[in-house]
Structure 1
Amino acid sequence: MTAYTPPPAHPRQTAPSDNRQEPSGAAPSVPATPTLITTDWNEEWKALQKARRNPDDPRFWDQRAKHFRPRETHPYARAFIELAALEPGERVLDMGCGGGTLAIPLARSGHPVVACDFSSAMLDALAEGCSYYQVEHLVEPHLLAWDEDWGRAGIAPRSVDVAFASRSIATADLEAALVKLDRTARRRCCITLVTGASPRVDTTVMAAIGASVTESRDYIYAFNILVGLGRYPEVRYIASPRRDTFDSLEDGIADFARMLEGGNEGRIDELAAYLSAHMVENPHVGEPGEKGRPQGRYTLDHKRIVRWAFIAWETEGNRS
């Protein structure tokens, strides 16, 4: 990815004045440029999204939907729901609901859920899970993308108590997405964004073979945009374990090769050597993985943890 130069200060923002006098005989000081408070974070976000290698596409998620059929609540989902601090019976918007990682356990707890996703296959997986747990009456599905007209899709302002976007903010306009969540919820919004490299990348493996990794730190942009909108975002962190499994060395090489970014594709030999030295028998072979897919025969001998930033804020109508 090419280096990015931040845009000029947002025209609506000005640096604070400093009326202090310089001591007699002292050389005039050069005013500091407060780039933190003058940067237009959403414009910087937009520019960075243009350089993304693989923008999110519903067809990609349609193909993966068959693996998103969890039959138990994953530790990540339990942590998210605990931090969300819902009140009994609150109505929830789950934007980017996938196969129901959050929507299904919330419905099982008695929460009406408006479940939205831009992948029709994901909504099919959600419907299958709702049928399995007999909570269809509590889950209202919508085929909807971030950049579409939510009002036309039936998602009205202040129509839910709490709005979620769990690991699902896929849009070129982050500020518009956050405003949509804020406008839809009566009380509170909660999102999670990655804190470093893509969760699809095992940074331990990449470092070991000398491959570079892009760290986006998306949550910093969301936090700063929310501050600019006059909200008071709170940040916590969720440590989510990942287990990459495969049935043979060849399968492992093919799977991990997708993590190699531009310029690193030639490190296949180093990747093969690392996997060969660090693959071990998986004691949970055949058991459902995080997304319901059966685990493979082998895994790696190190623990992989993906850290997510959980950002929550009270909406405009709920702030005192």
Structure 2
Amino acid sequence: MRSLLLETDWNEEWMRRQELRRTPDDPAQWDARARHFRPRETHPYAQDFLALADIRPQESVLDMGCGAGSLAIPLAQAGHNVVAADFSSRMLETLQEGIRYYGGLDGRIDTLQLAWDDDWQAAGIAPQSVDVAIASRSIATRDLKAALTKLTVAARRRCCITLIAGASPHLDEHIMRAIGASVTRGTDYIYAFNILVGMGLRPEVSYIDSPRRDTFDSLEDGVADFARMLEDGNEHRVDELRSYLAQHMVDNPHAGEPGAKGRPQGRYMLDHERITRWAFIAWSTGEPEPPELHP
């Protein structure tokens, strides 16, 4: 009996999906957003990622799509040498600001401007040049198999990535359900898992639930912000959105304080957290896991 699962070219299917995306990721977009990323305490999402990554003492790490260093900085603080790579030059500048802010990280983090589609070896990422390669919420490429292969080739022991496992991180499912709007759930991680299996690897999957509080200064500011969620046939639900926000906005006790990305928080927030679910996928690349020791 033929198996559709085994016969499907998951990378080809992924490429078809990417052709339907409105716009590909652009370094200029992230350059513009970089000003909102500032040194801060390690976010709970990053703490969960690092706990699942299980990086051993003194191991070197490639952090692909490092952004402003939410993982690279705590890794360096823990004694790891990190190659922090990103296609946004401004993000790398913001990371350098973070390195100076925290201090004591000289020589621990090497930054590299690099995109998924670049020639990694020509850029200095040689095969098995690091112990662990990670890509946290940063895989945005037409050729997913090529990206996963590059990570696998670069790492001597282990790779770890996260991809969306529910609604887009830009959506609040709670609101969308409440106003009768349709929601498309992300399945990116399913493609990655199946591509890795097809490569002869044995990926393992865990999940990270990342909470977030959206804040705003007035009802109309909230409507303008949340209205960006109303896509794909939901654009006409602005009145329902306004009614929902009016009923569920509460005073923000932390108004004016820096938020998760450094911007001052607004006067109001919603009476619930927005939860984004990420699939954490890890696989071994070469060195076998050490055997368990029993007394």
Q: TM-score range by the shorter chain?
A: over 0.9
Whether the 8 Å CA contact 2:207–2:278 is kept in 1: the answer is yes
**Partners of 2:284 and 2:271 in 1: CA distance:** 42
**Partner residue of 1:188?**
158
Answer with 1 or 2: which has the greater Rg: 1
Deviation at 1:136, TM superposition (A): 3.7
1:106 paired residue among 75, 79, 89: 75
Q: SS in structure 1 opposite 2:211?
A: strand
**Partner residue of 2:145?**
175
Identity of aligned residues (%): 68
Deviations 1:116-166, CA, capped at 9 Å, x for gaps: 111111111101001111214211111111011111111111110000000
**Partner residue of 1:63?**
32
What amino acid sits opposite 1:308 in the alignment?
W
**Partner residue of 2:180?**
210
**Partners of 2:215 and 2:26 in 1: CA distance:** 25
**Partners of 1:61 and 1:247 in 2: CA distance:** 25
**2:36 pairs with 1:36:** no
1:283 paired residue among 253, 257, 275: 253
Runs (5+) with no aligned partner, structure 1: 1-31
**Partner residue of 2:102?**
133
**Partner residue of 1:146?**
116
Moved >3 Å (runs of 4+): none
What amino acid sits opposite 1:300 in the alignment?
L
Runs (5+) with no aligned partner, structure 2: 290-295
**2:281 pairs with 1:306:** no
**Partner residue of 1:269?**
239
The alignment's TM-score, normalised by the length of structure 1, stands at 0.87
What amino acid sits opposite 2:216 in the alignment?
F
2:64 paired residue among 84, 92, 95: 95
**Partners of 2:23 and 2:175 in 1: CA distance:** 21
Whether the 8 Å CA contact 1:127–1:136 is kept in 2: the answer is no
**Partner residue of 2:48?**
79
**2:86 pairs with 1:121:** no
Number of residue pairs the alignment of both structures matches: 288
**Partners of 1:232 and 1:203 in 2: CA distance:** 32
Deviation at 1:70, TM superposition (A): 3.5
1:253 paired residue among 223, 233, 242: 223
The alignment's TM-score, normalised by the length of structure 2, stands at 0.94
Deviation at 1:228, TM superposition (A): 0.5
**Partner residue of 1:11?**
none
2:207 paired residue among 214, 223, 237: 237
What amino acid sits opposite 1:295 in the alignment?
Q
Whether the 8 Å CA contact 1:70–1:290 is kept in 2: the answer is no
**2:20 pairs with 1:51:** yes
**Partners of 1:87 and 1:236 in 2: CA distance:** 19
Deviation at 1:286, TM superposition (A): 2.2
**Partner residue of 1:200?**
170
Deviation at 1:214, TM superposition (A): 1.9
